Each structure stands twice: as structure tokens, then as C-alpha cells.
Amino acid sequence: MSKTVKIGKSEVTTSPLGLGTNAVGGYNLFPNLNDDDGLNLVKTGIENGITLLDTAYVYGLGHSEELVGQAIKDFDRDKLVIATKGAHDFSTGEQVIRNDPKFITEQVENSLKRLGTDYIDIYYLHFPDHDTPKAEAVGTLQKLREQGKIRAIGVSNFSLDQIKEANADGFVDVVEDEFSLLHQDHGADMMPYLKAHNISFVPYFPLASGLLTGKYKRDTTFPDDDIRSQIADFKEPRYGKILTAVDAIRPIANAHHATVAQTVLAWYIKNPLISVVIPGAKKPEQVAANAKALDIALSDAEYQTIDAAFDDFKHITSGKSLADPE
């Protein structure tokens, strides 16, 4: 295994490559992965050196957590880092986002039961609600930390201002938000604040839902009912520009006898702004292949070449480094 990373100011440590499990039991999001394949996928990840498993209540309304809980039974719990999230309330029949202390406390208890574990390593507020003061919501998680039920506190899909409010007492350890080579503007404004306050960053959609694996061709087409036909990344002229940038990764991948996906994941692992990268997967063989990214050490020049190939996808005010604290 390569380096170990620490999550914020907490005692949680993990390998820098995790596994996103929104497809595992996540029938409401991805209908095609059956339970046996989902379980196998998680176990394959752990067997291949992945220690952090990223799940959430909303992935299958608890079913992803249940399957992750089943999968980890065969392994040493102490060596694993379980991250889960809550904020979605469907009890009225409609989706309501809630961060209030009563709801969040119940959510943590329910996640513990579904995961079949005594503690959750990282608990995220999945989305901000409109009403609860952010520091009060995080204060609830801090109380749960003091009770030993969670070990690190995270927020996800919070704006920079909301993160500042949430971290008023310095309790936030980690932020999870969208960020990838293709979407470097996402999360960019918050990086200096996170660095200055020792808050880790976990990017989601790191493979841009598969686009950054190099598996798509210029003549690939998608039927109208395929979600990809609606996504801006898959529409010309942006699609062609993305494939050109991905092509720049191929010689570097070849030099490491690696795939494009492994090389992209190695870029995130080397990126100093990123703590843990959590690619999702639909097949165990994808997880096993992705785990090999842990063995790829990109040189500084290779890292810069990949960075430069995706320059067009940075929409950041020039002259200011993402890592400079405000």
C-alpha cells in the first residue's frame, strides 16, 4: 500500500483510495446491481487494499449500508473506515432534507444498526437543510462523537459559507463535494479554507461517471433514454474536448503498464488537495483494477502533464493557487 492519510483533526486514518458504494444496493440510483454482485464488489475492494467504504442512507434507502455491513463481517473492522451520510427524510412520502438534532441523532442510530457496527468512522451531513443552524447540526455530531458513536465529522454539498458556519467550533474534519479533472471549478473556492483549517477533502464523481476511464470513443452514441445523452459532458463540442484531454493520459498510462482509469486515480492520490478518492464501480473487476492505482507513483512531470491537459476545465481565477489560504 502507498501512503496513509489522516482525516482532518480526527484519529481516523485510511489508504488514499476508497470505494464509492452508491451502486451497491442503490436501486433508486442504479437499478442493475444485484445484492450478490454488490457484496462481492465491496469484498473485492477490501481484499485489494481499499480500506474506506463510502455509503449513505439515501443509496437504496438504507440498503447500501446493509450490504456494506454484511460485506465487512468477514474482515477486521478495526482496519476499515466506514463513511456514511444522512439528511434525507422520506417519512412524509416526500423527500425532505433535515439536519435538526433529533433527526440526525436518529439517523446515526439507524445507520449503526444497518451497518451492524458499534461506531461509524466518518459521518457526513449529506446535504444542508434550510432551517438548522449549521453549527448546531455539527454540534449534534460532536455529541455523538463524544459518545463514541462516530469518529470524524463531515459535511457534503455545503457551500463555502455553509462550511464556515458549520465549522464555527472547529469540529468539521472532512468535506465531500464534486471535483474531478473535468470539474475542477467544483470545490475550488473552498480549498484554501479547508487547508487553513485542517479539513480533508474527498471528491465525488472522480471518474466523471466513467468518462475519465478512457472507455468512450468519439463515435460512441447513447440512446435518448440513457442518462448520459442528457449530461453536458457527453454533448459536443465538450465531449470531443474531453476525449482529447483523456488521450493525453494514454502515453503516461502505457509507461506505467496501467489503464487510463488507474492513471487518473493515481493523479488524485498524488494531488495534495485531495485526501481520499472514492471511485464507484458496477463490477468487482473494475474495483480490483482501480485498486492497482495505489501502486502507481506518478512523477512530478507526469502529474503536471495530466494537469495541463485538463487546463481548459479549470474555471478558476488565474494567479491564485487553490492551496493558498485566504
Ligand X SMILES: NC(=O)c1ccc[n+]([C@@H]2O[C@H](COP(=O)([O-])OP(=O)(O)OC[C@H]3O[C@@H](n4cnc5c(N)ncnc54)[C@H](OP(=O)(O)O)[C@@H]3O)[C@@H](O)[C@H]2O)c1
Residue 8 to residue 152: CA distance in whole angstroms: 8
Residue 221 to residue 47: CA distance in whole angstroms: 35
Indicate the residue among 57 and 103 with the shorter CB distance to ligand X.
57
Helix/strand/coil for 127: coil
Residues in contact with ligand X by the rule CB under 6 A: 20-23, 54, 156-157, 176, 204-210, 213, 215, 261, 278-282, 286, 289-290
The runs of H, that is alpha helices, within 167-259 are 191-196, 238-247, 250-255
Instruction: State yes or no: is 27 an active-site residue.
Output: no
Q: How far is the CB of 321 from ligand X (least distance, A)?
A: 25
The answer to whether 206 and 279 have CB atoms below 8 angstroms apart is: yes
Indicate the residue among 22 and 44 with the shorter CB distance to ligand X.
22
Q: How far is the CB of 97 from ligand X (least distance, A)?
A: 12
Helix/strand/coil for 123: strand
Indicate the residue among 27 and 321 with the shorter CB distance to ligand X.
27
Q: How far is CA 125 from CA 163, 167, 247, 252, 325, in A?
A: 11, 13, 37, 38, 24
Q: How far is the CB of 223 from ligand X (least distance, A)?
A: 14
Q: How far is the CB of 142 from ligand X (least distance, A)?
A: 20
Other beta carbons within 10 angstroms of residue 165's beta carbon come to 18
Q: How far is the CB of 291 from ligand X (least distance, A)?
A: 10
Helix/strand/coil for 66: helix
Which is catalytic among the residues 57, 59, 123, 268?
59
Residue 43 to residue 21: CA distance in whole angstroms: 12
Indicate the residue among 97 and 320 with the shorter CB distance to ligand X.
97
Q: How far is the CB of 150 from ligand X (least distance, A)?
A: 16
Type and span of the H or E element at 67: helix 63-72
Residue 106 to residue 320: CA distance in whole angstroms: 42
Indicate the residue among 69 and 279 with the shorter CB distance to ligand X.
279
Other beta carbons within 10 angstroms of residue 272's beta carbon come to 9
Please give the radius of gyration of the chain, using alpha carbons only, rounded to the nearest integer. Answer: 19
Q: How far is the CB of 17 from ligand X (least distance, A)?
A: 11
The full DSSP string for 16-60 is: SBEEE-TTSS-TTT-TT--HHHHHHHHHHHHHTT--EEE--TTTT
Comparing every residue's Cβ against ligand X, the nearest one is 280
Helix/strand/coil for 131: coil
Q: Which residues have a catalytic role annotated?
A: 59
